[in-house]
A and B are shown apart, each in its own frame.
Chain A
Amino acid sequence: MFIIKHKKIFLAISAVLVLVSIILLSTLGLRLSIDFKGGALAEVSYPNGRPESAQISEALKLNNIGEVIVQVTGDKGYIIKTKDLTEAERIALFKALSLGGSYQVEEKSFNSIGPSIGTELRRKAIVSLSAVILAIILFIAYAFRKVSKPVSSWKYGIIAIVTLLHDVAIPIGLFTILSYYSHVEVDTLFVVAVLTILGLSVSDTIVVFDRVRENIKNRLSDDFKETVGRSLEQVYTRSINTSLTVILVLLSLFFFGPQSTKYFALMLSAGMFFGTYSSIFLASPLLVLVQEWQDRKSGKFIK
């Protein structure tokens, strides 16, 4: 009941977090990876010690491949980013990286993506994002079609969507900070992370709403506020425990897992955390708030 009683505080916390995330996103922006904008990325390692990055930049300038970014990776390696390269340019790039044969270079990975692939991926990302959101709205509308008193089913749906946006906005905000201070970029996996958060967050909210629905049916209490409060008490252990296990595996993926899925795991951990937080501290208080507004409009007395 504590949460319902102090609902305005929790709603305010969520509102501030979302607002900060939106401001961060719109001012700092996100770095797009070559998946979306096209370009090339080469990871090389110098097993016998690496040259200075300035030396590499200098050598690459002669190759006339436009702007080149050289980043340090690990103890012996560099990541080199350029525009998308043709096969001839790629061969020239790796030749230049050995600084005329004076350094031994190991080519760890190379990825060059033409602009048309980036365009296609952007389109696919937008289509799948819209499709997931639409499908989830339809699913919630269906799942709650029988609940109508005292809050009608479509309002559950809207609250679930608000919660959903909250759960996606905050991890994106965190990602923006990460992207600003390090070289983390928005790639295909970022989109997958956002979509997965959508799926997981709504499932958590649904479990809470499900319990409210069940308790309304069983006439646990005549007071809606109390019904929601007691439903929360019944389900919060489950919500926390479930996301705890998922966060446990995600953190192990972040700390011990492959480099390529590190930030994906971090993003999902944040999404999982706020997904659970919001189903307890945002969705349920909102439900009560909506009911109170309704009552106020119809002139009922509120305790």
Chain B
Amino acid sequence: MIKTRISAIVILLLGIFVGYFVYTSEPTLENIKPIPAPAAFKNFPFKLGLDLSGGTHLIYKADLSAVKSSDVADSMASLRDIIERRVNLFGVSEPIVQTEEASLSASREQRLIVDLPGVTDIDRAVAMIGQTPLLEFKTEGENDYVATSLTGRYLERAILEFDQNTREPIVSLQFNSEGTDLFSKITKENVGKTVAIYLDGSPISTPVVREEISGGRAQISGSFTPVEAKTLVGRLNSGALPVPITLISTQTIGPSLGATTIDAGIKAALIGLLFVAIFLILWYRLPGLIAIIALSLYVSIMLALFKLIPVTLTAASIAGFIISIGLAVDANVLIFERLKEEMKLGKSINESMRNGFSRAWFSIRDSNTSSIITAIILFWFGTSLIKGFALVLGLGVLTSMLSAIIISRIFLYALNVKSESKFAKFLFSSGISK
């Protein structure tokens, strides 16, 4: 008995700690009522999706018709890299640039998805992202590098090789015939100096010329790691054989709309929680009160999980969370109804409680399985919007099962009601029965 009571207190303290973590790690709450908290908590704010934070979501279609099918993945990776560099130059905080292969009814489409949180003036961003990559070769000038007439147009391709003796990675460049002449001239005039390679106006490599290179083939060697060399090859190739992109979808959400959505979401969650709590107390009395405590713990655990995993919150995932609050009660209701039935059979409160838990478990498991199946499939097939909802719903169902089975049980056992008085029975009864 002592053990159960200690467990109950430990769980309660843990719950309070989780709630404390959720509250203090949220920068927007800091100004309302400052509570001291470890600085590390600041690393876990809620991650807001674009529809809440405001921002721009762009989808581009990449035209890979000039690229061999075996090179598609590499081309897309370097395209992603290029666009990410541009977006970073734009000064956006936490941009997301990702590639995606979409299967349409008959064909496949390579896409590039760019999320720009906080950017609502999209004109400039779109203009900047949509540019064809520009690869330039520059030579040393008085103060700065000076552009030459050699550009990515003259580069046939770059490949990653390994030195046969030292096993170190080398980046090989192959120019076309015009490029061969231009490069030969540049190297001849710049022996011992640096030839800088620029992509989109910033240097990506600054090798020193040892001698004139006239065969159209050049090698950049040095202390590359294989990954660095591979990145450089990708960047050079994207300038040599640019993958044109076309904007096929734009979504912009103004910051005011995002803020309204968050406020409404929080309000709906709190009011929903209040309704559920009133219902639980009125119908299930003492066990109902326990269920409310378990439900509060459930809410703080879920919010903490959102921060730790982290789950990107959108209007859809907030809806998923609010629904999961309602569903979380289900397991408790199943248990309490069993408890009531056992009491009707004339068993003591304690015994009824124990039977209630063990017999309700199968129903809880079975009734949640189908929701979990749905959540998994939604997650598997869904677009990012559906994924957020599915993740929250699935996580919610699993967490709520645990909260009912572990938390509610320990609290109810910890009460350890020995009394069989009318009042005790009243507290454990439910509905309109006396």
Contact = CB atoms under 8 A, between A and B. Distances in A.
B371 A200 contact: yes
Nearest to B372: A199
Interface in A151-198: 188-189, 191-192, 195-196, 198
Contact of B315 (A84, A119, A203, A260): A260
Nearest to B252: A110
Contacts of A196: 323, 374, 378, 393
Contacts of B327: 200, 242, 246
Given A116-B61, A188-B385, A204 B367 contact: yes
A302 interface: no
A107 B120 contact: yes
29 contacts: A43-B257, A84-B249, A108-B253, A109-B254, A116-B248, A120-B103, A131-B377, A136-B373, A139-B370, A192-B316, A196-B378, A203-B367, A203-B368, A203-B369, A207-B366, A210-B362, A210-B363, A242-B327, A245-B276, A246-B330, A249-B268, A249-B326, A250-B326, A253-B272, A256-B271, A257-B322, A260-B315, A264-B316, A265-B319
A163 B174 CA distance: 67
Interface string B43-68: 00000000100000001010000000
Contacts of B61: 114, 116
Nearest to B329: A245
Interface in B232-265: 247-254, 256-257, 260-261, 264-265
Contacts of B333: 238, 241-242, 245
A244 B275 CA distance: 10
B337 interface: yes
A203 B316 contact: no
B389 interface: yes
Contact of B275 (A191, A210, A235, A252): A252
Contacts of A256: 264, 267-268, 271
A206 B372 CA distance: 14
Given A188-B386, A203-B367, A87 B247 contact: yes
B249 A113 contact: yes
A86 interface: yes
Contacts of B264: 256-259
Given A143-B366, A211-B363, A258-B264, 15 more contacts: A85-B250, A87-B126, A91-B123, A106-B254, A108-B257, A116-B61, A116-B109, A131-B381, A132-B373, A139-B369, A191-B386, A210-B362, A249-B272, A253-B268, A268-B323
B375 A108 contact: no
B383 A124 contact: yes
A255 B59 CA distance: 33
Contacts of A268: 323
A193 to B, nearest CB: 10
A202 interface: yes
Given A107-B254, A246-B327, A253-B272, A135 B260 contact: no
A44 B105 CA distance: 34
A126 to B, nearest CB: 10
Main secondary structure of the interface of B (DSSP, over half): helix
Contacts of A123: 103-105
A261 B61 CA distance: 29
B144 to A, nearest CB: 33
Contacts of A221: none
A127 interface: yes
A242 B329 contact: yes
Given A127-B381, A256-B271, A199 B375 contact: yes
B268 A135 contact: no
B432 to A, nearest CB: 11
Task: List the 8 closest A-B pairs by CB distance, nearest first.
Answer: A199-B374, A114-B248, A246-B326, A249-B272, A257-B268, A252-B272, A249-B326, A128-B381
B248 A117 contact: yes
Given A111-B250, A256-B268, A258-B261, A248 B337 contact: no
A87 B389 CA distance: 30
Interface residues of A, number: 72
Contact of A248 (B59, B104, B276): B276
Interface of B: 51, 59, 61, 102-105, 109, 120, 123, 126-127, 130, 247-254, 256-257, 260-261, 264-265, 267-269, 271-273, 275-276, 279-280, 283, 315-316, 318-319, 322-323, 325-327, 329-330, 333-334, 337, 341, 362-363, 366-371, 373-375, 377-378, 380-383, 385-386, 389, 393, 431
For B250, B279, B327, B393, the residue with the greatest tally of chain A CB atoms inside 10 Å of its CB is B250
Nearest to A136: B370
Nearest to B374: A199
B371 A258 contact: no
A247 B272 CA distance: 9
A195 B381 CA distance: 12
A107 B377 contact: no
Contacts of B253: 108-109
A238 B337 contact: yes
A62 B76 CA distance: 39
Contacts of A87: 123, 126-127, 130, 247, 250
Contacts of A63: none
A237 interface: yes
Nearest to B385: A188
A206 B380 CA distance: 24
B250 to A, nearest CB: 5
A294 interface: no
Contacts of B126: 87
B373 A139 contact: yes
A106 B366 CA distance: 50
Contacts of B380: 128, 131
Interface in A189-241: 189, 191-192, 195-196, 198-200, 202-204, 206-207, 210-211, 234-235, 237-238, 241
Contact of A207 (B283, B316, B363): B363
